[in-house]
């Protein structure tokens, strides 16, 4: 059946000989690749590039789990009692807050934080040329910096060796995700993603709504405990009064009394409320003064106290404008175009470049070569 002769296509010869390159292009048309498949950073993609996560998202399930479990316990054990004794709005408010918290959390985790795509080879070469000829670099080797004026204030831009470009102001390179992120705030392990320009508002609404939710559940739990004790029943009496059909089960169940779940909720809320309220307060301060966590920790704008020029150049000098600009400003687009298709020549050069630079990829390309050879064989028999 496969009588025609064919040669195994050497991937290194692809860029050299145009005729074999043409054949390869024809075959590549069958399976156009999307840009997320060749993304150089350490991110993971789901749903064909729609969802982006950091490589290590280990604590995100824990965060989700804690929230869901605590709310579940709240709805199961506190709400029936409180609806009976107080008002039916308690589970309604709880449900609204819960939905808001989960949506904000998922939006924060799955949104591109403002990743800057790496410089193309031509761009990188152009920048190198400029560094060699411009006066800002001395005869000393890197670190390379460029000084610019922002609102009449001198700001240093650093050169990123991984992304091969001068980082725009307020951009920082996250080593965990191996990306430069615009308006980099911090990498949050609880959320499993960086927090940057595009998802800061989701992160902020997540922590604010979580503060409300935790405080609300805490308040309800305290109310529940207070009302129960006011009703005159002690814990022991309440256990004794429950029906005892099966003594052993009854003893077991008495330990797992619904009241003990309430105590569990109380403990979780008590410990988390301090950290969450503290974080919310801190980020409210950052939003009001148009700072990022990164800048605040490094003390970028407060190192020279007393000097007039060392203010934050990005602030609008009004708390309301700062808040509106950070939280309600226009939503910037994603710059990495995850779902776009790779043009055929770029796909090829990406494949051959990865072949040359990273030996582990050789196995992947070999499988491709086998497919192509089979296709070629089939086309010969047609």
According to the binding rule CB under 8 A, does residue 330 interact with another protein? yes
d(CA 240, CA 151): 73
Of 71, 180, 188, 194, the active-site residue reads 188
CB 44 within 8 A of CB 55: yes
Residue 59 neighbours by CB under 8 Å, 6+ apart: 189, 190, 192
Conformation bin of residue 31: beta by default, left when phi > 0, alpha when psi is -120 to 50: beta
> By CB under 8 A, what part of segment 146-175 binds another protein?
148-151, 155, 157, 165, 168-170
Report if residue 319 touches another protein, rule: CB under 8 A: no
Write the DSSP assignment of 189-216 as a string of letters.
TTTTEEE-TTTHHHHHHHHHHHHHHHHH
| Alpha carbon distances (Å) from 177 to 133, 263, 266 | 33, 39, 36
Task: Show Cβ contacts of residue 173 under 8 Å, excluding neighbours closer than 6 positions.
Answer: 160, 162, 163, 167, 179, 180, 181, 184
Site for another protein contains 335 (CB under 8 A): yes
DSSP state for residue 361 in the 8-state scheme: G
**Is 188 labeled as catalytic in the residue annotation?**
yes
321 is a site residue for another protein (CB under 8 A): yes
The least CB distance from residue 6 to another protein, in Å, is 27
Does 224 engage in binding with another protein (CB under 8 A)?
no
Give the C-alpha separation, 115 to 218, whole Å: 38
Task: Note whether 195 and 187 are within 8 A (CB).
Answer: yes
Candidates 69, 267, 331, 362; binder of another protein (CB under 8 A) is 331
Sole window of 73-81, 302-310, 317-325, 368-376 interacting with another protein (rule: CB under 8 A): 317-325
Task: Choose which of 6, 45, 75, 100 interacts with another protein (CB under 8 A).
Answer: 100
CB nearer to another protein: give 81 or 204. 204
Stretch of 26-34, 117-125, 254-262, 372-380 contacting another protein, by CB under 8 A: 117-125
Q: Is 327 in the site for another protein (CB under 8 A)?
A: yes
CB 343, min distance to another protein, A: 11
Please give the Cα distance from 72 to 98 (Å, whole number): 10
Positions marked active-site = 188
Q: Binding residues for another protein, per CB under 8 A?
A: 99-100, 103-104, 107, 116-117, 119-120, 122-123, 126, 148-151, 155, 157, 165, 168-170, 182-183, 201-202, 205, 313-314, 321, 324-325, 327-333, 335-337
């Amino acid at each position: 059946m496969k009588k025609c002769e064919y040669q195994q296509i050497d991937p290194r010869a692809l860029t050299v000989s145009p005729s074999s390159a043409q054949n390869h292009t024809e075959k590549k048309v069958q399976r156009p690749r999307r840009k997320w498949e060749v993304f150089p950073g350490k991110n993971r993609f789901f749903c064909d590039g729609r969802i982006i996560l950091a490589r290590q998202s280990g604590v995100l399930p824990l965060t989700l789990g804690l929230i869901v479990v605590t709310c579940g316990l709240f709805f199961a054990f506190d709400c029936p009692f409180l609806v009976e004794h107080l008002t039916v709005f308690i589970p309604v408010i709880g449900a609204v807050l819960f939905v808001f918290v989960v949506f904000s959390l998922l939006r924060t985790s799955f949104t591109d934080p403002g990743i800057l795509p790496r410089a193309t080879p031509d761009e990188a070469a152009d920048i190198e040329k400029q560094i060699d000829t411009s006066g800002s670099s001395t005869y000393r080797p890197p670190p390379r910096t460029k000084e610019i004026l922002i609102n009449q204030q001198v700001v240093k831009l650093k050169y990123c060796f991984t992304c091969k470009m001068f980082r725009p102001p307020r951009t920082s390179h996250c080593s965990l995700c191996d990306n430069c992120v615009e308006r980099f705030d911090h990498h949050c392990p609880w959320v499993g993603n960086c927090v940057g320009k595009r998802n800061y508002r989701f992160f902020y609404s997540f922590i604010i709504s979580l503060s409300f939710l935790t405080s609300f559940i805490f308040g309800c739990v305290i109310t529940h405990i207070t009302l129960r004790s006011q009703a005159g029943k002690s814990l022991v009496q309440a256990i004794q009064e429950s029906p005892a059909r099966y003594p052993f089960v009854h003893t077991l169940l008495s330990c797992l009394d619904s009241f003990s779940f309430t105590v569990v909720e109380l403990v979780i809320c008590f410990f988390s409320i301090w950290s969450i309220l503290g974080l919310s307060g801190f980020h409210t301060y950052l939003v009001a003064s148009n700072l990022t966590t990164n800048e605040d920790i490094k003390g970028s704008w407060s190192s020279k106290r007393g000097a007039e020029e060392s203010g934050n150049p990005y602030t609008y000098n009004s708390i309301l404008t700062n808040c509106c600009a950070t939280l309600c400003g226009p939503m910037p687009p994603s710059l990495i175009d995850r779902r776009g298709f790779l043009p055929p020549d770029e796909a090829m050069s990406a494949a051959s470049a990865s072949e040359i630079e990273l030996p582990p990829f050789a196995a992947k390309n070999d499988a491709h070569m086998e497919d192509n050879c089979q296709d070629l064989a089939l086309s010969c028999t047609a």
